[in-house]
Structure 1
Amino acid sequence: MSRQATNTARTKTVARVQRAIEREEFPFEQLSEVAEVESWRKEVFRPIYHVHKWWAQRLGSVFRAIVLGAAPGQRDPLMREFYQNVDLGGLVVFDPFMGSGTTVGEAAKLGCAAVGRDINPVAFTGVRVSLGAIDRAGVERAFEQVERTVGAEIRAMYRAKDNTDRECDVLYFFWVKVADCPECKEEVDLFSSYVFAKHAYVKKYPTVHIVCPECGEVFRGLHHEKQARCTACKNAFDPHSGPAKGMSAECTHCNHEFRIGRTLRASGVPPRHKLYAKLVLNADGKKEYLRATEADVAAFRQAEQRLATAEVVRPIGQLEPGRNTDQAINYGYQSWGDFFNARQLLALGRLGHAIRGLPEGPERDALALVFSGTLEFNNMFASYKGEGTGAVRHMFSHHVLKPERMPIEANPWGTPQSSGSFSTLFRLRLIRALEYRENPFEVAVDRAGDKPKGKKVFGTSVPLTQVQVHGWTKQPRSPGVYLSCGNSAATGLVDESVDLVVTDPPFFDNVHYSELADFFFAWQRELLPSGLELETTRQCGEVQDEDAEAFASKLSSVFTECRRVLVKDGLLVFSYHHSRDDGWVAVAQAIADAGFSLVQAHPVKAEMSVAAPKTQAAEPIDIDIIMVCRKAEADQRPIRRSVDAVGAALVTAEKQVVRFLERGRQLSRGDAKVLLLSRVLVELFAGRAPESVPREFEAVMPLLKPTVEALHRGQAMLEQKSAAATKPGRTKRAAPKE
């Protein structure tokens, strides 16, 4: 749309009342405190979005506030309304990237017609099952039937002897990858450390468990000790230093150093593994670390033989090159079945076969979804976290398919003390989600103790058991959930049939969801048919690309469709953050090309602070930006010169920093950057033809680096200013109006 056309359309627009989310007073700092509490126990406070794995699962409290703040009409202050049972019946909310279903669920709880679409069948299936009609008594009966059918059979595969030679359950088997030395051809165990088990709080609980490289004995030691002596063969060694160091390993036979990946890849087959230890529940119900015995190895060989003839469900599909799959391919992995050892394939395959044998219906689908979720903890890419926390580190902890040199084989059915097992996830994921659906609640901050905790506030939403899941329709009207799987650049929805678009787009250069989702899809194709004839979840229409311009083009195509289906006075609201400049130019381009104008931006607490992308980043970003957009012709703000736009952005950014500081939240340099960039974009879009904004934004970016540094360094000064304003004799700074 040309600037002249934009201005002409704007002159015809009557004055309108700003919605809560369009105002600077939107209470993002108060919302962030609620989001912080939720972020540490997402699976407890929003269990309906965590029945199955999905990446970048956003916080339900944030998206509830977005829907409330974006809804039209005269409303109560937002944080008061947040804890009320609000009925937004008649409002149609659309999420074109529904992922785990956060927008859909939050909108449905508020009585909206919640419309969700995702191009990935794993995401679609997860939401369809989690929000669908499931009879709790029926699903518990189905679980009991599966337990009778294969539960005992699987548990028998994970039986062993304790130190008194009595039968017991195995919690975990410990394995290590092996490689043949290119020089002497001898087998090398790729231990990075001979300490294979320790407590999460090792300073407080320093006892560790060590495997002897000479005789294989398992014994205790202390974490701080630089030398250990085997209790069996008396071999003395450094327990913290194994043959594998970084990308290389040193042969323990000839001292030749070789590259691990290159050596394993040259074999042309997936890596071999050696069983060396186990953690059992002994006859007294206590945990005990023991070395693997010949009987343990023989039991595994027996499982290998049974797999050849057993009736099992198997994963289907080969690995394809990609940003998140190349690491596995470079280690020789070729198919999704290669991610499991023979006993895992037998146990999981038998479990899948039993679930597939249940009567068709939502209860079978629910158990199949729990089964699919079990896979991420029961494969040879999972590792051991140790005592004091969930013991199994799932395979996606690095957000790539990173081969694990010391993998753990968990008990797939599980025991009362298991982590990541089918029976555990049935209780902690599915049953917890069904309880939430029956009696949903919101999260509030309880400050009664030494540090803030979460408390549940009931009576805030209609029970989700009363929300009907409809089939896809061109014009959603009545309250309920409408879901579809497909490209959101072409929805089939009627023009101007949606009141709000609320979403969280994918990152273009971080986690490629489909490359990872194929791991689940390889099994779901057999158990949870989506009705789509696909061999992979990778599709050309998915909005992810390592090239910023290509990403912007794909995102713009979806935003353009959102513009078509959005009513004239509707809002497009999405959460976003990116550490790189090109990520921000890309999103600006997508907004502009779709004919939108960015009218407001609010910082808010993002996912858990220890999430993988944050802990691995040099300058971690702990906030998301809530980007609020209107159709360009509806933006009535006056134009500013670029230099004035940057100045105005800095003023607003400083105010937002102060509001965070008053609540005790410090911002990182990365936080300061995304906060300032979002404010600059808001100012640049004011009064301009959308197509001119990305160029001007890119032009001012070199000028913003010192401004970001000043904003970050100035936190202490801003904090002092804020404190000075509240000293006796001065007027106390008023709390932000809602």
Structure 2
Amino acid sequence: MTLRLKLIEHSLPLEAINLANKTKNKAPKHYPTKLHKYWAHRPLATSRAVIFAQLVDDPSAWPNIFHTDEDQARERRRLHQVIKEMIEWPDPNAKDQKRFERAIEVARYEIARSVAWGLGEEPPTDPKAVIDFLQTKGPPVYDPFCGGGSIPLEAQRLGLRAYGSDLNPVAVLITRALIEFPPKFANLPPVHPNVKKEGDLGGRVWNGAQGLAEDVRGYGQWMRDEAEKAIGELYPKVMLPDGSKATVVAWLWSRTVASPDPAQKGAHVPLASSFVLSSKADREAIVVPVKDAAAEGGWQFTVKTKGVTKAEMAVAARGTKASQGSFTCLLSGSRIQYAYVDDEANAGRMRARLMAIVAEGPRSRIFLPPNDEHAQLALSVVAEDKPDQPARGTFASNAQGRIYGFKSFGDYFTSRQLVALTTFSDLIGKVRERVLEDASAATAFANHLDPKLPLAEGGTGPVAYADAVATYLSCALSRVSEYNSSISTWLPKDNAIRTTFARQAIPMSWDFCEANPFEKSSGGWQSAVDTSSEYLLTSYTGSLAQCYLIDAPKNSYPIRPALISTDPPYYDNIGYADLSDFFYVWLRRSLKNIHKELFRRLLTPKSEELIAERYRYGGQAQADKHFMDGMGEALEAMRKASTEAPLAIYYAFKQSEAREEGVLSPGWAAFLQAVVNSGLRVDATWPVRTEASNRAVGNNANALASSVVLVCRARPEDAETASRREFLRDLKPQMRQAIEDHQKAGVPLPDRRQAAIGPGIGNFSKYAAVREADDTAMSVATALTLINREIDEALSEGTEALDAETRFALEWYEINGYKLVSGGAGTAINMLQGFNLAESRMNASGLFRSRGGDAKLLTRFEMIDADPHWSPSRDGTFTVWEIAQHLSRVFHAEDGGTDKAGRILAESRRSAPDVLLVAERLFEIATNKGDNDEALTWNQLQTAWPEIERAADRAEADGVGPAPIQGQFAFPALP
């Protein structure tokens, strides 16, 4: 069977994908990741683009249709444009939504076309018929490490059958809520009785999961009202200076311990990382601790909101921290070490003192000093119920053995927070009964075939619907718990609450805030309900999907063969199971009778998780073995279950790996070794920037804005072995060809090195083994070293075939830049002889000037001043250097841009690869010379190269060059 090359095995529009990821670091309205917190969500843009490129054939697979290299290159550019149009998440306006839906329709057609051609059929063109075709004849997409659900979600959006699985029950619940539950209740009206009172049912059409979203919001409002009746008195309003009352947004607290100075007689003093309340311009506010013999402990907190100086802000920003690992005693100035604090906390002697109150004012938030009544009320609350599961492995300071008294998950919350969370959790059970009663009486569920079948067993009737509403409200409870723990802090810059998980860990917070769950803020219940239900308003419900609770190494794949696209754990990166327990304990409390399979344990499974965490397995060697063995089994299971299309497997680098040269890092080498050992060969490695590079991290977790998508196929069972010499013999030309292909495909120079590793490892992994001189098998780590050596050489070469004038200009620029070299004519003549060029010829070229003993390489602006009407068609002997310089000039000009640059390229199309090579070489030289402006100029030209080539295509169609192929496809690229 002949395997057809897929687009992902040749090229991807990396810059467009990376830009789409970057713009979505902060999730916009309706963004699916807002449904529930999960760590390292795979960006939707990347997931969508990768799945598309896994399924769409590369044009070279159809030489009978795309006859020449240029035909194929033009078609790739068109497919890249399809990807660019579909990966931008739409703004919530009708026009943008319609554009996005059209772009997705085009993408579905392209997938269907490749599938149909592979079957010897013609693809359908009607959008609904395309979806029906993909559902029946398109390959199912399966992600065995589904995590937050991005990959199966995007497979579903592209019209494919989508499946996922995970060991982590929190991940499975999130993925089911994203892809599995909304289609079950598509196009149903809400059942909440208040909707009828509001007149919303009168002729309204409830599309998709809009009715479900409305019920989540409506029943969530009922829960809020019931909770306020029960515990509203725990959250009183506060008196303002003018005698009026205001709603409290948050109470800000500082932890305290007894001063270690014996002279202070056990007086408690504050531990605060900052005393800044607001750092907004003209709204600065700070807490000022002052000694007061009459106050408790001999000191008190005051608040200053007017006339705060920069010096006072600087002092407040330090809190009571003295240095890393210690605080200063407010009363005596003595040091308080973290070890002392840990001992006091574990002995139950750490307390908290109210530091300030944040109230909602008419125009902005108001900062008020502590109120004794408010403080005493909060401290008097007794929580009769709290999660008692042990909190192990989640705390950021575990490396020092400090847990600061946080022994169970209940310890992360104040008593008032626990009362609020348990109240809302209990109400989820009650609201489920109300939903069941209303749904049973609703017309939409009348005469249902199996009305009592629960959601967890595949039900779609009233019981299942009540289960679904309760599930989404439990997701809202997770969000409330995230903003309502004693790890949550106040953000002075935003005047808002910071979540518990500002890091991918649970760090210690010395000062924290208690949110008012009845206020409309990020910590409020109704805000959490609205945020968690927003996704349902735009969720895709056109096809059913499923997610399973399965350990990846033991996965026999209930759906097979399948297209595998997955984002597995990364060696020793993030312990998702430990972190997920924070939510699991509350989800289990609310949903253990609804999703019994998911919440049968007290905590998430740990020992099976594929992560090389030494504290779990008794040392690094044992941890490494656990990861390698388990990942090898998981990858082998993927290989056996996969279709003929390539697998896509993500790997994310940690920041420490980048500093240590990522290609040789232990995690990267170990992961690649597991891939090779599993019987897979690597065809491509595409670097994509998928993480927010500036976010806080913990436990040396991933902080680099870079992941690598490994594109793999099954290695033939009869693959041969090779010697080291044979491997190296093939490697050199393969590296050069790969870099040339990536250059033509518009892969940016900074990404080209990582992209070239794929073909190199592909050359290595196509063999059953590569034998060293002593007959031992070569390791992946050794192969990576050899591959990178060849990449270094290949990237530094390639200019030998350029015209002599261009090669001379490159060398002159590297030595002298564009400056006038006084007395440099003699040097120039000597250099020109080395290129077999005469001084007169170089002067006539229009890019260099040598006269009066001086010499100068002309800038692109000086070149156009010398010949204002220059164009390739007017210059019958143009050089590659001239094309590159004029392209850059026109592209960056105020009256220029992509279209004008494209016209220049259209007149010199055969020189395009050489022009791009010169641009890359100039970027390298300018970077090495420290000329950042010039380097940026050439980097921007490289980044825009695919757009310039498309503009050249349009120019050719207008008569500047040969016209492109017309009329082949039912769906053109979007304008």
1:371 aligns to what? 477
Separation (CA, whole Å) in 2 of partners of 1:659 and 1:73: 15
2:603 aligns to what? 536
Q: Is the 8 Å Cα contact of residues 396 and 699 (structure 2) preserved in structure 1?
A: no
- Aligned equivalent of 1:393, options 472, 494, 498: 498
More deviation, 178-187/581-590: 178-187
Q: Against the structure 1 CA distance between its residues 660 and 238, is the aligned structure 2 distance closer, same or farther, given a 3 Å change threshold?
A: farther
Q: SS at the partner of 1:175?
A: strand
Residue 548 (structure 1) shift: 3.7
Kindly indicate whether structure 1 or structure 2 has the higher relative contact order, using CA contacts under 8 Å at least 6 residues apart.
1
More deviation, 99-108/252-261: 252-261
Q: Is the 8 Å Cα contact of residues 42 and 150 (structure 2) preserved in structure 1?
A: yes
2:90 aligns to what? none
1:42 aligns to what? 27
Separation (CA, whole Å) in 1 of partners of 2:411 and 2:485: 9
- Aligned equivalent of 2:681, options 583, 586, 597: 597
Q: Is the 8 Å Cα contact of residues 55 and 645 (structure 2) preserved in structure 1?
A: no
Output the amino acid matched with 1:318. P
Q: Is the 8 Å Cα contact of residues 673 and 779 (structure 2) preserved in structure 1?
A: no
Separation (CA, whole Å) in 1 of partners of 2:27 and 2:2: 41
| 1:466 correspondence with 2:537 | no
2:36 aligns to what? 52
More deviation, 728-737/113-122: 728-737
Output the amino acid matched with 2:7. A
1:231 aligns to what? none
| 1:210 correspondence with 2:210 | no
Residue 207 (structure 1) shift: 2.4
Which runs of 5 or more structure 1 residues have no equivalent in the other structure?
A: 1-13, 229-236, 438-463, 468-479
TM-score by structure 1 length? 0.79
Q: Against the structure 1 CA distance between its residues 262 and 654, is the aligned structure 2 distance closer, same or farther, given a 3 Å change threshold?
A: farther
TM-score by structure 2 length? 0.61
Residue 153 (structure 1) shift: 4.5
Residue 647 (structure 1) shift: 7.5
1:455 aligns to what? none
Q: SS at the partner of 1:77?
A: helix
1:572 aligns to what? 647
Output the amino acid matched with 2:354. L
Output the amino acid matched with 2:709. I
More deviation, 339-348/122-131: 122-131
Q: Is the 8 Å Cα contact of residues 669 and 781 (structure 2) preserved in structure 1?
A: yes
1:515 aligns to what? 578
Q: Against the structure 1 CA distance between its residues 223 and 122, is the aligned structure 2 distance closer, same or farther, given a 3 Å change threshold?
A: farther
Separation (CA, whole Å) in 1 of partners of 2:396 and 2:379: 32
Separation (CA, whole Å) in 2 of partners of 1:205 and 1:658: 53
Q: SS at the partner of 1:212?
A: strand
Which entry has the higher C-alpha Rg, 1 or 2? 2
2:3 aligns to what? 16
Q: Against the structure 1 CA distance between its residues 224 and 707, is the aligned structure 2 distance closer, same or farther, given a 3 Å change threshold?
A: farther
| 1:164 correspondence with 2:222 | no
- Aligned equivalent of 1:583, options 654, 660, 667: 667
- Aligned equivalent of 2:413, options 332, 340, 348: 340
Q: Against the structure 1 CA distance between its residues 354 and 575, is the aligned structure 2 distance closer, same or farther, given a 3 Å change threshold?
A: same
More strand by share: 1
Separation (CA, whole Å) in 2 of partners of 1:209 and 1:679: 57
Output the amino acid matched with 2:398. D
Separation (CA, whole Å) in 2 of partners of 1:482 and 1:593: 30
Q: SS at the partner of 1:429?
A: helix
Output the amino acid matched with 1:32. N
Q: Is the 8 Å Cα contact of residues 315 and 522 (structure 1) preserved in structure 2?
A: yes
Output the amino acid matched with 1:419. S
Percent of pairs with identical residues = 19
Note the 1:654-665 alignment, pairs <5 A.
none
| 1:421 correspondence with 2:502 | no
Output the amino acid matched with 2:647. L
1:493 aligns to what? 557
Q: Against the structure 1 CA distance between its residues 147 and 493, is the aligned structure 2 distance closer, same or farther, given a 3 Å change threshold?
A: same
Q: Against the structure 1 CA distance between its residues 173 and 425, is the aligned structure 2 distance closer, same or farther, given a 3 Å change threshold?
A: same
Q: Against the structure 1 CA distance between its residues 528 and 267, is the aligned structure 2 distance closer, same or farther, given a 3 Å change threshold?
A: same
Q: Against the structure 1 CA distance between its residues 291 and 703, is the aligned structure 2 distance closer, same or farther, given a 3 Å change threshold?
A: farther
Note the 1:383-462 alignment, pairs <5 A.
383-388=489-494, 391-415=496-520, 418-430=521-533, 432-437=534-539
Residue 129 (structure 1) shift: 2.4
Which runs of 5 or more structure 2 residues have no equivalent in the other structure?
A: 60-77, 87-102, 109-130, 186-211, 292-299, 434-465, 614-622, 798-809, 815-859, 861-880, 889-903, 917-944, 951-972
More deviation, 340-349/150-159: 150-159
- Aligned equivalent of 1:219, options 300, 304, 314: 304
1:630 aligns to what? 713
2:54 aligns to what? 70
Output the amino acid matched with 1:425. A
Note the 1:82-161 alignment, pairs <5 A.
82=86, 83-85=103-105, 86=108, 87=131, 88-89=134-135, 90-131=138-179, 132-133=181-182, 135-159=212-236, 160-161=238-239
2:487 aligns to what? 381
RMSD: 3.8
Q: SS at the partner of 1:239?
A: helix
Q: Against the structure 1 CA distance between its residues 261 and 397, is the aligned structure 2 distance closer, same or farther, given a 3 Å change threshold?
A: farther
Residue 384 (structure 1) shift: 1.2
Q: SS at the partner of 1:279?
A: strand
| 1:187 correspondence with 2:271 | no
Q: Count residues with an aligned counterpart.
A: 651
| 1:251 correspondence with 2:329 | yes
Note the 1:546-695 alignment, pairs <5 A.
546=613, 547-567=623-643, 569-578=644-653, 579=657, 580=662, 581-613=665-697, 621-633=704-716, 641-642=727-728, 645=731, 648-649=734-735, 652=738, 667=750, 677-678=757-758, 680-689=760-769, 695=778
More deviation, 49-58/210-219: 210-219
Q: SS at the partner of 1:150?
A: helix
1:351 aligns to what? 424
Separation (CA, whole Å) in 2 of partners of 1:527 and 1:724: 65
More deviation, 671-680/215-224: 671-680
Residue 22 (structure 1) shift: 1.2
Q: Is the 8 Å Cα contact of residues 256 and 268 (structure 2) preserved in structure 1?
A: yes
Residue 208 (structure 1) shift: 3.5
Q: Is the 8 Å Cα contact of residues 352 and 371 (structure 1) preserved in structure 2?
A: yes
- Aligned equivalent of 1:278, options 357, 378, 398: 357
Q: Against the structure 1 CA distance between its residues 689 and 317, is the aligned structure 2 distance closer, same or farther, given a 3 Å change threshold?
A: same
Q: Against the structure 1 CA distance between its residues 105 and 702, is the aligned structure 2 distance closer, same or farther, given a 3 Å change threshold?
A: closer
Q: Against the structure 1 CA distance between its residues 676 and 198, is the aligned structure 2 distance closer, same or farther, given a 3 Å change threshold?
A: farther
Q: Against the structure 1 CA distance between its residues 523 and 553, is the aligned structure 2 distance closer, same or farther, given a 3 Å change threshold?
A: same
Residue 572 (structure 1) shift: 1.6
